Structure 1
Amino acid sequence: MKVLPYLADHKRHQQIIYIEIASVLITFIVAYALSSIFNVSDHFYEWAQQYENTSDIDELLFALLAFLFALMWFAKRRINESRKLIKHNHGLLQRLLQVQEGERKAIAQHLHDDLGQYLNAIKAHAASLLIDDTSNDDALFAAQRISSSADHAYDASRRMMHSLRPVALDELGLSAAIEHMIDIWKISGKTEKVTEYRLKIIGNLDGLSESTNIAIFRIVQESLTNIAKHAHATEVFVFIKQSDALLTITVQDNGIGFDINQKTAGNHLQACYGLLGIAERVEALAGTLNILSTPSQGTAIKVEIKTT
């Protein structure tokens, strides 16, 4: 399977750093071996002796060493600055996501308080018409239509409120909230193609911070939404494991998959956009994200987050 790199894939960047360090060491070893074979130091000494009277060429080695140490100091300083900048960006992104969740919570609360109240009032008025003996058939039919429409609108608003701010996450905790979300996907008919959802949770998910809980919930939610929109899958497996201060989330489907070489075309581009929200949440938690996909063989999303 092919790996699609994203912003949060720090392991790939670490591997690049290790490769570069290994390249420097190999270059040093090769240079030392060639110098030993061709007696470079002896030839350099003989060449330097020719110009000893006109210049301090033999002092060049110490100048080069000083220059090398200066470069090393500068590189270390830039690395430290980069780490501070990355840490600062993580904080900004996490703060942005917290503000976003706060706005979602406020909108969900307004929907519950205002829209829900009016829908209940409409349904109550329709019910009063239905039990009124003086109402004619047309009025009764209209009352039934109004009551039915109010029910549909109320159900739609509840689904909207749940997507904006999952009540189960606040009341029951992360594990129960994810189980509840999977149950909703099973029975709500959000996609006609997926016939089986499987969920497996290993370890205790209690004790995580609120921001981590929300991020994990959203990662699973956005993964399922992306599968429903683009994967054409019939089976979805969600696996969550907490062990040794490392939380692993895997969401896998048996859908159509995609070729990373064509990820900018058509639906593949939309699928990638759908995964950007996941990448941003993982990035905010300084985690890693790997997306594995092969055409006709499905897609797997794997997230790793340190919980200490």
Structure 2
Amino acid sequence: MTVVNKLTRLLNITYPIIQGGMGNISDPNLAAAISNAGGLGTIGVGDLPINEAVYKVTEMLKQTSNPCCVNIPIAVHPNVSHIVQQMINLKVPVVSLSAGNPAPFISLLQQHKIIVICVIATVRQAKKAEKAGADIIVCEGYEAAGINAKNESTTMTLIPQVVQQVNIPVVAAGGIADGKGLAAALALGASGVQMGTRFIATKEAPYHKIYKQAIIQATDESTVIVGRRYNRIRRLIRSEYASKLLEIENKNDDPAIFFKQTTENYHKIGAFDGDIKNGFINGGQIAGLIEDCPSVYDLLETMTADAKQILKQSLEKLE
């Protein structure tokens, strides 16, 4: 089921659905599967060494001829200028910039015909990104998994305010996992959605069955925020390791201790090894709604069909 709007036309994709970056646990097979199914698959470079990031992106590009994306967290990667140049060299069609000031990189990327997405968490950031030349804005609410903004604005409140202030396509992120969420985002004025947690529980995702089951078995109370004390806010699935992080946070004024225990190495231990005693797993609040593990194609097709039906029925109820 094809959706035609300003986002899908600009990205040349079938469904208005983008994969979130997922940092160092990004997987080229999953990203390519999402692009091949008609969404926009994404590799997040996190703080990966240049050669590892290039390998992952190259593998994604080998597996799909459809549009795909690379997420670069500006304040996280130790050599942003180099990684940006590598993405230009690889002719990546779309680059997503997050966690920092995107302005120095937007024009450079666009000179090489790369579409630029900017991930923001406030109206102020959205306006600045548009002024700097961004093609698309991803507006992420506090419901989302992983690292979150300090202002704690929710998707439901943030999206309509951003849409009111910018003219470029806006994508809703945080708290979306099904057709109802897609329909809600579209009703709020967004042109599409970005998801991370929902893609963990898919057949193509390479993550440990313990991680997938934690998502599928989650309730509305299964996530926890760590790092508020240090202004490094991250949303995790509750686990023994997450409890350990909270204990560290409650007892230590030194942020270095906490930061050392929340590196991407511990993320990999949880996500790939399924060892949630010695590593953490990210998860958004929407995990409580996820109950199955479909293929990527079935997920995108079902979400879009359900969203269309929901919007149609909602209009009929107003008559």
Structures share a fold, TM > 0.5?
no
Classify the TM-score, shorter chain.
under 0.3
Q: Which has the larger radius of gyration?
A: 1
TM-score by length of 1: 0.22
Looking at both structures, which has the greater relative contact order when contacts are Cα pairs under 8 Å and sequence separation is at least 6? 1
